[in-house]
Amino acid sequence: MKKIPIGISSCLLGENVRFDGGHKRDAYITGTLSEYFEFHPVCPEMAIGLGAPRPTLRLVKTDNQVRCVGVKDETVDVTEKLHDFANRIKPLHAELCGYILKKDSPSCGMTRVKVYSNNQPHREGVGIYAQTLMENNPLMPVEEEGRLGDSGLRENFIQRVYVYHRWQTLLKDGLSVAKLTQFHARHKLIIMSHGDYQPLGRLLTTASAENLAEIAEQYISLLMALLKKVVTRGQHVNVLQHIQGYLKKELSADEKAELGEIFERYRIGELPLIVPITLLKHHFRKTPDPYIEESFYMSPYPQELNLINQL
């Protein structure tokens, strides 16, 4: 499969673009993720001509405005330059299926960046470049490298990247009511694991050739917002039990009991998600079901990423 295009802060790939002339190479990103993602590195501070090494910057709040200014010399204000650069490369961002940002950066931090007010720091800010990037691309999955250390957030981000990539591919191949309906059907179990799938289903019943573009826009906006919610073990168990229902005529009493035990052991944290999913796949290999076979729930991304082994 062709690698998925992902934007990334350059320092995370080992480029010496940090304020101190160094980098913040991330082994998981440059190792595991690089096998599946085609990274498009950007350092906005370098791009606006600051160079490396360079004087440090920070976010400062004055008169209810957050500015990106020099630590030692606040007359150095690069706020507008960072906004303008993010807007200038908006066409590049539109081609991406996700973005990994450097945490804590006054330009690239996604959340909880220090904002100084009366010389006191408060973790309430967003990097200037990151803020414009996310405002311009509200559907695109965005995450920080630090948060990828959390197994739930990591799986959530990568799942969203693959869903968004499939959506982008669908649009490029040409959208139709039938293709939109099929897209929803193949993702329905994933949607069910994140929350209520019925509003999306009801929306699709109103789709026609005349309003397809409008319905599709509403659909993907609702879907990507819903997928931001990290799935709980209980929600996964509900979906696993729903999937088991497709085997109700094929399973023996002992096999049903075994699945029930495995689901419960997963629910209480004794087993990772890979175990019940592997067992279900085993049963469906013996008695295939077309709907389950087409669904992305049990194979949402390459298994080599080992994400559900840690959930």
pLDDT band (50, 70, 90) for residue 306? confident
User: Cβ atoms within 10 A of the Cβ of 291, count?
Assistant: 12
Name the nearest CA neighbour of 41 among 55, 19, 24, 58: 24
Give residue-wise pLDDT tens across range 175-217. Answer: 999 999 999 999 999 999 999 999 999 999 999 999 999 999 9
pLDDT band (50, 70, 90) for residue 63? confident
Dihedral sign of CA atoms 126, 132, 134, 140 in order = negative
16 has a pLDDT exceeding 80? yes
List helix spans (H) across the chain.
Answer: 27-30, 44-47, 79-88, 90-94, 128-136, 151-173, 177-194, 198-204, 212-227, 233-244, 253-267, 274-286, 290-294
Peptide bond into 53 cis (omega under 30): yes
Burial 131-145 (b: 16+ CB within 10 A, else e): bbbbeebeebbbbbb
